[in-house]
Structure formats: structure tokens, C-alpha cells
């Protein structure tokens, strides 16, 4: 399914990707990549405007299978069987990989005539951003990997109960769907800083844009089938920032620690009171760290 017309779309590898831009295209570009089943609006407008205020052009987009981007049609895909096969090393059943999603991100840059960008990914978006830096090094000016991991199953291991909660089918009743989304957000977020109203606004916005019930299992399949990036990460030559919350139960902090350990010269920032979210209290400081990285990368170029 291709959701039409609400926002611009970029053609990409057989799909169409919804995107939005903020700021002056003549400024350096920051490309924001979101995570598992999440839409581009999970990058709050506030975050986008903070980057613009600091002199950057911002792109955010819906990954394939979410929001207003193309929802794939895979009627013959048996997701549980495919997941078990992928865990056993057989990726042949996966309809797409993290490499395909990194290619999608490149297609958005191509569509907008942008040669290279400062790439920021959160969770699965961090995995896509890492893959983008590995496979399209000339398009990545700097890399920021937030609450993500390396693809090695021995690090960043999720809490099993939390992962199961993500896989539960979302209710179809609108009010129940909102309540479900808010509770899911509560489960993965910092218990210290969880903002129920902020979560509710985001969930309601996502539901209005369209929630694909197959996005999470198919994207999880992409993650598992893509394997480890550890060897390739150790060969990267790009200014890199790794941000992780010490309270993260969905992607354990070891995932961020290992990423920073592998990428030469990477800066690691661990935030004590952050889980699998960027609470409002930390948004501006994370933005400032990304901007500082971008400035260092520009100065070193």
C-alpha cells in the first residue's frame, strides 16, 4: 500500500518514502532515521526546529512499511517461520534487509539533490545509519547512533517481556489503540521522565497517519536477517557519536558500549536516567552533542 499525498514522497528501490524537510536546503543537512515500527513524527517537531535554529537543514522520513510510506504486500510471508529461520542464519525469507533500508535513505538524499549528510539514527534507525555509513561512506559526514547496537546478539540484548509486548497486535478500536500505544511507550521509556501527554500526542498523530500492523514483525525480521556489523564497524572512518540510556531495557546499554568500542575514535555518551527514549529534559543536550559532532566533522574535512 502507498499512502498518497499528505506529504511529499521520494521514489526509492520500488517503494515511495514519505518525507519532510525543515530549514534552508543550502545549510548542511541532518538526516534523521527512526526505529522499529516508528514513524518520522517520533522525531518531534521540536527536535527538528532545534537543529534548524543551530544552522542545519533537516530531513525526516518514514521508513518503508510505516506511516505514509509504502506498505509492502507480502501475503505469503509466514513471519514466525521466517523469524525462526533468520535466527538460525537463513535470511532468505526476509522481504528486505537493513541494507535495503539504508539504500532507501540514500534515495531520499538523491531525490533532494543532497550529496552527503550528518546521519542520526535511533534504535533500528541507528542500525540503518550504521549500515549507511558502512555501505555508502561517501554520503555520511558524521554518524550518530542513539540507543542502538551492532547486530551481535550477545550485546544490546532486549528484555524478552518487553520484546513480546512490542509484538502484540494493536487494538483496532481507536481509543484502545491510543491507550495501547501510550502504555507501550511507558514500558520502553524512562520511568523518571515519562510524559504521558507527550506520548499520547505522538500516538494519536501516528494513528492518524496510518499504523501498519505488519511493520514491527517485518522490520524485526530485517534486523535479525542482516546479521552482525561488528567487523565493518571497526573499519569505519567517520566521526561518530554513540548515545545510550543506562536504563534501556529494549536495547541493553552494552549495545551502545560495543558500538563505541568498535568504531575508531567514537565518542560514547551514557545517560543515567534515560531508557529507550530521549526524554524532553535531554532533547536539547543531545541535539547540542550532535551539532558539536557535525562541527568537528566539518572542521576535520
Q: Which residues are catalytic?
A: 123, 248, 276
The pairing of beta strand 57-61 with beta strand 117-122: unpaired
Spatial distance between the Cα atoms of 177 and 100, rounded to a whole number of angstroms: 30
DSSP state for residue 157 in the 8-state scheme = P
Of 105, 98, 99, nearest to 30 (Cα)? 105
Torsions phi, psi for 80 (to 5 deg): -60, -45
Q: Is residue 145 within 8 Å of residue 156, measured between CB atoms?
A: no
User: In DSSP terms, which residues pair with 119 in a beta bridge?
Assistant: 31, 143
Counts for the chain of helices (H) and strands (E), in that order: 11, 8
Could you give the CA distance from residue 127 to residue 122 in angstroms, rounded to a whole number? 8
Task: Residue 134: name the closest of 119, 147, 114 by CA.
Answer: 119
266-283 exposure pattern, b = at least 16 Cβ within 10 A, e = fewer: bbbbebeebbbbbbeebe
How would DSSP label each residue in 208-241? HH---TTHHHHHHHHHHHH---HHHHTT--S-EE
Amino acid at each position: 500500500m502507498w499512502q498518497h499525498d499528505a506529504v511529499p514522497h521520494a521514489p526509492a528501490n520500488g517503494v515511495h518514502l514519505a518525507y519532510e524537510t525543515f530549514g534552508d536546503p543550502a545549510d548542511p543537512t541532518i538526516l534523521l532515521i527512526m526505529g522499529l515500527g516508528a514513524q518520522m513524527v517520533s522525531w518531534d517537531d521540536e527536535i527538528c526546529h532545534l537543529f534548524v535554529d543551530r544552522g542545519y537543514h533537516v530531513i525526516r522520513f518514514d521508513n518503508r512499511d510505516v506511516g505514509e510510506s509504502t506498505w509492502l504486500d507480502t501475503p505469503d510471508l509466514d513471519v514466525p517461520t521466517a523469524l525462526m529461520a533468520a535466527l538460525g542464519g537463513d535470511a532468505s525469507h526476509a522481504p528486505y534487509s537493513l541494507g535495503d533500508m539504508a539504500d532507501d535513505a540514500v534515495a531520499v538524499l538523491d531525490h533532494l539533490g543532497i550529496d552527503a549528510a550528518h546521519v542520526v539514527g535511533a534504535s533500528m534507525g541507528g542500525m540503518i545509519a550504521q549500515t549507511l555509513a558502512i555501505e555508502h561512506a561517501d554520503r555520511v559526514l558524521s554518524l550518530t547512533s542513539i540507543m542502538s547496537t551492532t547486530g551481535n546478539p550477545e550485546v544490546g540484548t532486549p528484555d524478552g517481556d518487553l520484546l513480546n509486548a512490542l509484538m502484540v497486535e494493536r487494538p483496532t478500536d481507536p481509543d484502545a489503540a491510543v491507550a495501547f500505544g501510550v502504555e507501550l511507550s511507558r514500558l520502553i521509556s524512562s520511568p523518571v521522565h515519562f510524559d504521558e501527554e507527550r506520548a499520547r500526542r505522538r500516538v494519536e498523530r501516528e494513528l492518524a497517519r496510518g499504523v501498519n500492523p505488519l511493520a514491527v514483525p517485518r522490520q524485526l525480521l530485517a534486523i535479525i536477517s542482516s546479521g552482525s556489523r561488528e567487523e565493518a564497524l571497526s573499519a569505519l572512518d567517520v566521526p561518530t557519536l554513540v548515545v545510550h540510556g543506562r536504563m534501556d531495557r529494549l536495547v541493553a546499554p552494552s549495545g551502545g558500549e560495543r558500538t563505541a568500542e568498535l568504531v575508531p575514535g567514537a565518542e560514547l555518551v551514557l545517560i543515567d536516567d534515560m531508557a529507550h527514549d530521549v526524554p524532553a529534559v535531554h532533547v536539547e543536550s543531545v541535539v547540542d552533542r550532535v551539532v558539536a559532532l557535525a562541527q568537528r566533522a566539518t572542521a576535520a574535512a
